[in-house]
Amino acid sequence: MATKHDPRAIKVLHVSPEAVPFCKVGGLADVAGSLPPSLRNSGADCRLLLPAWDGVLDTARKNGLKLVRVPRSVDVAIRWKVHKGTLWMSSGEGLPVYFLESPFFEGKQIYPQQLDPESVLPFVFLSLAALELADAAEWYADVMHCHDWGTAPLISALLWHRYYRFMFSQYKTVFTIHNLAHQGLLPLHSLRDWGLVDDAFTLNGLEFYGGANLMKGAITGASAVTTVSPAYSREIQTENGGVGLGGLLRSHNSKIHGILNGLDTEYWNPATDSLLFHNYSPDDLAGKAQCRNTLFDQLGWKEDGRPLFTSVGRMVDQKGFDILLPSIQRMVEWGCRLYLVGSGQHEYETAVLEAVDKWPDAVASFVGYDEEVAHKAYAAGDFFLMPSKFEPCGLSQLISLRYGALPVVRSVGGLADTVFEYGSPEGNGFLFSEYSAESLLSAVGRSLDVFRNDATGYRSAQKKAMQSDFSWDRSAPLYLDLYRSLLP
């Protein structure tokens, strides 16, 4: 097998707007921060290109990375003007990361509230700068691996940019869809000054119902398209799940692959996690009970044996808040406690806070984004609620399994691929299908029944959940096989 130091090793540049531990909005950051190192450990010469948003370079240095400035800048023409970017490369062992510094990334909060001709420019710059990286850094990738709409312009540029299309044969491209709900929709005319040729503005190009759709270009042009779970790869090819791109995806069916996300199991490890009040393992769960007790002390709750249902995630439509909120009253009446961590749509945040006011002894919340709070919530919970409307993969349920909180989830996308009904051979949680509060409550009811009447069964499912393999060891080889299949 070729190793990363071997000139024959496959060279892959991952391009992502976010990656842990440098900057994070959601699950993409977890994947972009953990898949490339895992691929590197498997022998690929994998590297990562990341924008230096505010604070990113400082965070990198605080994490012990030594950053070396690449002598040559990357020059990208947008709107008939050349924009210079500076590349900083991490040196030493571990994953080489290129940080791209530019005024485009200053004062921004990664994804714009509103995507428009101006706010998309950092993503266009990132995408085109990736194609300039080879000459600047003197490192030539075989495969460009792009993640979500923010890096989709890279693939469109290889097809339709008046300059970069001459590089088409130089690269194989992989486009990973982490969430089809965000496709990068813009007015068509706003792409006029990106340097694209006329073909880009047709139905076979980026045109989409009179506007432009960045993901459409990437799906059309990529050598391979992946999604983050097998179930989601099937769902997005249907009329309902395709969010307007189902037909296009079906027509590219042969190049679509569903590869389940992995977790960074060193980082997400209750036995060593320094953010927890106490550590614990499947063989010694005493620390988990202490995590719960200490959280209760902080929340001003007395331990009285009621089960704790936690949730950590964006408080948005996708995550099922419109069926979770109407279920709270019944859950409280049934003797559940809830601890809801997250932020998102204003109406959901407000409704959560109202529930806390109404049932202070049973409902608590943390409205905001906080890594430490999230870790403590995963560890304290007996059950984890994730009633998603759709879920490309979902990392939160994987984390909850690893931390011994049995997931109560809707059977959709990656949730259906990773959570199995209690009582079945792989049983590690509770599932429901229909998108309704009633259906969610029926799964909650089953979970309560087990918790109260079958302590041995609960413990054994908990142990099984914590011992499952969610590492990239399972999925990284599938990506390697895919890269190999694309190269001669």
Of the candidates 17, 184, 394, 407, which one interacts with ligand ADP according to CB under 6 A? 394
Question: Terminus-to-terminus CA distance in the chain, angstroms?
Answer: 16
Place of tokens 């439509």: 317
Based on the shown chain and the rule CB under 6 A, indicate whether residue 267 belongs to the binding site for ligand ADP. Answer: no
Between 110 and 450, name the residue whose CB sits nearer to ligand ADP.
Answer: 110
Based on the shown chain and the rule CB under 6 A, indicate whether residue 110 belongs to the binding site for ligand ADP. Answer: no
Based on the shown chain and the rule CB under 6 A, indicate whether residue 35 belongs to the binding site for ligand ADP. Answer: no
CA–CA gap between residue 263 and residue 398 (Å, rounded):
7
Between 387 and 394, name the residue whose CB sits nearer to ligand ADP.
Answer: 394
Nearest 5°: CA angle at 203, between 202 and 209? 110
Alpha helices in 454-471 (DSSP H): 455-467
Based on the shown chain and the rule CB under 6 A, indicate whether residue 370 belongs to the binding site for ligand ADP. Answer: yes
In 102-178, DSSP assigns E strands to 143-147, 172-177
Between 201 and 267, name the residue whose CB sits nearer to ligand ADP.
Answer: 267
Nearest-approach distance from CB 331 to ligand ADP, in angstroms: 21
Total number of residues shown for the chain: 488
Based on the shown chain and the rule CB under 6 A, indicate whether residue 273 belongs to the binding site for ligand ADP. Answer: no
Of the candidates 27, 205, 217, 427, which one interacts with ligand ADP according to CB under 6 A? 27
Based on the shown chain and the rule CB under 6 A, indicate whether residue 30 belongs to the binding site for ligand ADP. Answer: yes
Of the candidates 10, 124, 155, 395, which one interacts with ligand ADP according to CB under 6 A? 395
Of the candidates 19, 374, 408, 480, which one interacts with ligand ADP according to CB under 6 A? 374
Nearest-approach distance from CB 392 to ligand ADP, in angstroms: 7
- Half-sphere exposure of 274 toward its Cβ, with a 13 Å CA cutoff? 0
Based on the shown chain and the rule CB under 6 A, indicate whether residue 26 belongs to the binding site for ligand ADP. Answer: yes
Of the candidates 135, 284, 303, 371, which one interacts with ligand ADP according to CB under 6 A? 371
Nearest-approach distance from CB 228 to ligand ADP, in angstroms: 8
Kindly report whether the peptide bond that precedes residue 21 is cis, defined as omega within 30 degrees of 0.
yes
Based on the shown chain and the rule CB under 6 A, indicate whether residue 317 belongs to the binding site for ligand ADP. Answer: no
Nearest-approach distance from CB 57 to ligand ADP, in angstroms: 22
CA distances from 180 to 108, 215, 246 (A): 23, 8, 10
β-partners of residue 99 are 50, 88
Q: Site map for ligand ADP, 55-94, x if CB under 6 A?
A: ----------------------------------------
Of 253, 397, 221, 372, whose CA–CA distance to 320 is shortest?
397
Contacts with 429 (C-beta within 8 Å, 6 or more apart), sequence order? 397, 401, 406, 407, 408, 409, 419, 420, 421, 422, 461, 465
Place of tokens 């977890």: 30
Based on the shown chain and the rule CB under 6 A, indicate whether residue 269 belongs to the binding site for ligand ADP. Answer: no
Q: Which two tokens stand for residue 459?
A: 């413990």
Nearest-approach distance from CB 115 to ligand ADP, in angstroms: 18
Taking a C-beta distance cutoff of 8 angstroms, is the pair 144, 129 a contact? no
Based on the shown chain and the rule CB under 6 A, indicate whether residue 137 belongs to the binding site for ligand ADP. Answer: no
Based on the shown chain and the rule CB under 6 A, indicate whether residue 180 belongs to the binding site for ligand ADP. Answer: no
Of the candidates 40, 147, 288, 314, which one interacts with ligand ADP according to CB under 6 A? 314
Of the candidates 313, 387, 404, 407, which one interacts with ligand ADP according to CB under 6 A? 313
Nearest-approach distance from CB 64 to ligand ADP, in angstroms: 22
Taking a C-beta distance cutoff of 8 angstroms, is the pair 34, 262 a contact? yes
Of the candidates 168, 201, 369, 435, which one interacts with ligand ADP according to CB under 6 A? 369
Site for ligand ADP in 217-246 (CB under 6 A): none
Taking a C-beta distance cutoff of 8 angstroms, is the pair 310, 384 a contact? yes
Based on the shown chain and the rule CB under 6 A, indicate whether residue 312 belongs to the binding site for ligand ADP. Answer: yes
CA distances from 142 to 31, 76, 171, 184 (A): 21, 21, 5, 26
Helix (H, G, I), strand (E, B) or coil at 434: coil
Which residues are at the interface with ligand ADP (CB under 6 A)? 26-27, 30, 312-314, 341-343, 369-371, 374, 393-396, 399
